[in-house]
Amino acid sequence: MKEGELDAREEALAAVAREAGERARRLFSNPSGVKLKGLQDFITAADGEVERLIIERLKARFPRDAFLGEEGGVQGSGDALWIIDPIDGTANFAYGIPHFCVSIGFLSGGEPLLGAVAAPMYDELYVARHGRGAFRNGRPIRVASVEIGQALIELGWSSRLPAKAYTALLERVLATGATFRRAGSGALGLAYVADGRNHGYCELHINSWDVAAALLLVREAGGWTNDFFAGDAIAHGNAVLACAPQLKEALVAATGVGQANDKLERRIS
Ligand code: IPD
């Protein structure tokens, strides 16, 4: 993709992330249409409304681009792909907890080039562009410099994998000397790795719309991530590990994510 074409998308991305965040903020004060789409897997009317807003705005400017949204699936085809999670942290949103965000990533030729994560209840907008750094509200951010014994690792959970996979992961991470938390938004958990607020994030299966924007934030903030987009991760998800670089060795060994012979079956046994 030519520089000028990417400039146009970067500018549109920041504007639409702000607008979508503002819409989500308004809807948060009066959530409606809360339903379960699976075990502990929420959807609200706001998810659909915010996703339609984002796609409408981006399509008007880039009609030939393709879109993958958590709620609406795929629209269009081609090399330029926007991946959208309109509300990440939907359970928090539904319960009236302000820890949620809007996540929009842009990939060209399968490579993440732009990402924005808007956390409207905190007035925070994270943006990154490949090779140009990562920013919160316009200020550059960096991953933290702590060692494993002081590290705070966020562990994501969903009902997509058996509970024993999660408890085994938790035990192995605690054995490194790190502590953990689960705050319920994968995209924000990863953005916080980029911002030094978390020191790592691991989840044994997560969908591409949860990570498409934030993995770029982590890399652009000096962090390390596994090769999430290898294989069919855009359509079916993958394991994710992202951390400050000095924690990579300990966390790859503890989680198994990022090892050369890494296999999901092995990690959940
Ligand atoms: C979920 C959240 C959660 C993560 C799950 C996701 P949603 O997305 O990001 O933190 O652990 O894997 O499915 O349902 O809030 O959009």
Q: Which residue has the tokens 């090779």?
A: 131
Is residue 261 pLDDT above 70, yes or no?
no
Of the residues 90, 211, 215, which should be mutated to test ligand 1's pocket, given the most ligand atoms within 8 Å of the CB? 90
User: What is the pLDDT, as a whole number, of residue 260?
Assistant: 74
Of the residues 158, 159, 209, 236, which should be mutated to test ligand 1's pocket, given the most ligand atoms within 8 Å of the CB? 158
Task: Please give the number of the atom of ligand 1 that sits closest to the Cα of 89.
Answer: 15
Dist. CA 80 → ligand 1 center (Å): 24
Give me 101's structure tokens.
Answer: 């965000």
Give me 126's structure tokens.
Answer: 């994270």
- Which residues are CB-neighbours of 196 under 8 A, at least 6 positions away? 141, 142, 143, 144, 244
Distance CA 73, CA 88 (A): 15
User: What is the pLDDT, as a whole number, of residue 269?
Assistant: 47
The model carries a pTM of 0.94
Q: Which residue has the tokens 């994560």?
A: 117
Average predicted confidence (pLDDT) for the chain: 94
User: What is the pLDDT, as a whole number, of residue 267?
Assistant: 55
- Residue whose CA is at the smallest distance from ligand 1 atom 8: 88
Q: Return the sign of the alpha-carbon dihedral for residues 52, 54, 59, 61.
A: positive
Percentage, residues of the chain above pLDDT 90: 85
Q: Residue 86's pLDDT band (boundaries 50, 70, 90)?
A: very high
Residues annotated as catalytic (active site), given as ranges: 70, 85, 87-88, 90, 210
Least confident of 43-47, 76-80, 89-93, 192-196: 43-47
Q: Residue 172's pLDDT band (boundaries 50, 70, 90)?
A: very high
214: how many CB neighbours lie within 10 A of its CB?
35
Dist. CA 4 → ligand 1 center (Å): 34
- Which residues are CB-neighbours of 10 under 8 A, at least 6 positions away? 114, 127, 129
Residue range 130-149: average pLDDT? 98
Task: Please give the number of the atom of ligand 1 that sits closest to the Cα of 156.
Answer: 11
- Residue whose CA is at the smallest distance from ligand 1 atom 15: 89
Residues with CB under 6 A from ligand 1: 70, 85, 88-90, 156-158, 184-186, 203, 206-207, 210
Dist. CA 40 → ligand 1 center (Å): 10
DSSP assignment of 229-256 equals: TSTTHHHH-EEEEEE-GGGHHHHHHHH-
Dist. CA 113 → ligand 1 center (Å): 22
The tens digit of pLDDT for each residue in 198-252 reads 999 999 999 999 999 999 999 999 999 999 999 899 999 999 999 999 999 999 9
> 4: number of CA atoms within 13 Å, CB side?
0
Task: Please give the number of the atom of ligand 1 that sits closest to the Cα of 47.
Answer: 16
The tens digit of pLDDT for each residue in 36-84 reads 777 777 777 888 999 999 999 999 999 999 999 998 899 999 899 999 9
User: What is the pLDDT, as a whole number, of residue 263?
Assistant: 57
The tens digit of pLDDT for each residue in 102-128 reads 999 999 999 999 999 999 999 999 999
Task: Please give the number of the atom of ligand 1 that sits closest to the Cα of 209.
Answer: 16
Dist. CA 85 → ligand 1 center (Å): 10
- Residue whose CA is at the smallest distance from ligand 1 atom 12: 206
User: What is the pLDDT, as a whole number, of residue 32?
Assistant: 72
